[in-house]
Amino acid sequence: MASLSRTCCVEGCSQDQFKNHYCIDCYRRQQNPIPHNHLSTAGRQVAAAQENMDTINQEFLDNPEFDCTQEQMDGYKIRFAEFDEDGSGDIDMLELGRAMERLGQPKNQLELRRMIAQVDSNNSGTIDYREFVQMMVGKSS
């Protein structure tokens, strides 16, 4: 028998379910948009990350150097949330390693460090959403 997920159904949220497959914070947002100060710490982090990703998506959509659609940007947002397992807003080496394994392309630590270094423009040692989207869309030719 398959086990049922007991975490929130919202992409990028890893809190426990509260009601209707949502955690308490996402359930509240679904019922009534509320200010972040009424959310838990984890809920505020998820909400802020979502807003940041939406802002970055719009910057790429508005920039004529990049040839991308809203659908592509929405897909990048979903994929990033899948890779960013802890919802921190960054993909670290461990998360990248697990993502590559899920994709059937396991990498060793050196390969993962090189992958991150290729796109880590702010030298944080992780891949943030802006760097992720930059890698995915590249420059238009």
Task: Say which DSSP state 119 is in.
Answer: H
Give the residue-averaged pLDDT of 6-29: 70
Angle at 78 between CA 34 and CA 81, to 5 degrees: 75
Alpha carbon 128 to its chain's center: 9
Task: Give this prediction's pTM.
Answer: 0.68
Q: Which of 37-46, 89-98, 122-131 bottoms out in mean pLDDT, i.e. has the lowest?
A: 37-46
Q: CA dist 87 to 2, 69, 105, 121, Å?
A: 25, 24, 23, 20
CA distance 73 to 57: 6
For residues 97 and 118, what is the distance between their CA atoms, to the nearest angstrom?
Answer: 15
Report d(CA 133, CA 81) in Å as an integer: 12
Dump pLDDT digits (tens) for 68-110.
Answer: 999 999 999 999 988 988 878 899 999 999 999 999 999 999 9
Per-residue CA distances from 125 to 78, 84, 131 (Å): 22, 14, 12
